[in-house]
Amino acid sequence: MTDAPKKRLKIGEVSFEDLMALVQHGPDTFVGVAPRYPWGRLFGGQVVAQALRAAQFTVDERFGIHSLHAYFIRGGTHREPVRFEVDRIRNGRSFATRRVVARQSNGAILNLSASFQRDEESVDVQPSQLPVDIPRPEDIEDSGWGQMLERRRTSPGFGRSVTWLRLAQDLPADPLMQACGLAFISDAAPTGAARAAHPVQIDDPDLRRAHFTGASLDHAVYFHRPIDPTEWLVADVLCHTLVGARGITVGNIFTADGVHGATIVQEVLLRERRPNDETPQGSPQPDGLGGKDT
């Protein structure tokens, strides 16, 4: 843990390791940088990854993350750092549990629960398989951002999105840091499936921003097998239902050679704009929702 940069930075001016270099401010309390993104508010995947990193600092290194569940409470700002307060819920022989609250001056912006498991030998069965009907990333237009994330998305059918994505920076061969990298990029995949289920389909990004507002409401990641987030990964996501302006999406993340690394579940707000709409709470998505880029 090193001193965080003092000045306000744009996302292209920091590395992923800078985001993870949390500074300890008292017992089980850590502070991380909050760079400015093109759409204004913080990227939810960043806050999730930083909260996971804070939890990791309080867990024995023999335990690895196996699941996290996060609620986005309000949008974060780049105008001040983010404070992460860790609660050591349980330390067991096989499992450890942590709760992390991310705060800024306007209050809590994220609440995360994380469960860690000590390595144990068992069978390894993978029923889920990498789809064979998807284009290669070089054949899809890049929709990444900030010199940190590469993303190539396609919608092959109703209520489905397939996204190639990777962290566009090197990481040390550290499974803890790689888990944080996976948590970061996993928030850039689910919303497209909810959009693909909506009866109103708008291809033009500017028109779509004018018509819809949206945010991530909550986000869960189940970590199955170690995978490198700096290599191309495939997120195959389905929207299971869209009601009350909320879409439930469930997806599998695979390596390019078919290893099922993680499962993600997200509830997405997808609201058609009305006069005098309030800005939604949660994590605004960098994909045409909430006035952000595509």
Tens digit of each residue's pLDDT (9 = 90 or more) over 89-148 = 999 999 999 999 999 999 999 999 999 999 989 999 999 999 988 899 998 988 876 678
Q: Strand 29-32 vs strand 246-255: parallel, antiparallel, or unpaired?
A: unpaired
The pair of structure tokens assigned to 283 is 């994590």
Q: Is residue 39 within 8 Å of 294, Cβ to Cβ?
A: no
Quote the pLDDT of residue 289: 35
Q: Is residue 144 within 8 Å of 11, Cβ to Cβ?
A: no
DSSP state of 77: -
Tens digit of each residue's pLDDT (9 = 90 or more) over 165-188 = 999 988 988 999 999 999 999 999
Handedness of CA 157, 292, 79, 282 (dihedral sign): negative
- CA–CA dist 123, 102 (Å, integer): 36
List of residues 6+ apart from 53 with CB closer than 8 A: 20, 22, 30, 32, 176, 180
Residue written as tokens 């790689």? Answer: 178
CA-CA-CA-CA torsion for 72, 197, 260, 153, nearest 10 degrees? -90
Give whole-number Cα distances, 122 to 31, 96, 99, 102, 107, in Å: 37, 19, 27, 35, 43
Quote the pLDDT of residue 47: 97
Q: Is residue 265 within 8 Å of 70, Cβ to Cβ?
A: no
**CA diameter of the chain:** 57
Q: Taking CA 115 as the corner, what is the angle to CA 220 and CA 101, rounded to the nearest 5 degrees? A: 70
pTM: 0.89
Tens digit of each residue's pLDDT (9 = 90 or more) over 73-87 = 999 999 999 999 999
Number of Cβ within 10 Å of residue 263's Cβ equals 17
Quote the pLDDT of residue 38: 78
Amino acid identity at 212: F
Confidence check: pLDDT of 218 > 80:
yes
Helix axes 44-56, 175-186, angle to 10 degrees: 160
pLDDT-based confidence at residue 272 (cuts at 50, 70, 90): confident
Quote the pLDDT of residue 292: 35
Hey, what domains does the chain have and what are their CATH numbers? 11-118 (3.10.129.10), 137-272 (3.10.129.10)
Confidence check: pLDDT of 250 > 90:
yes
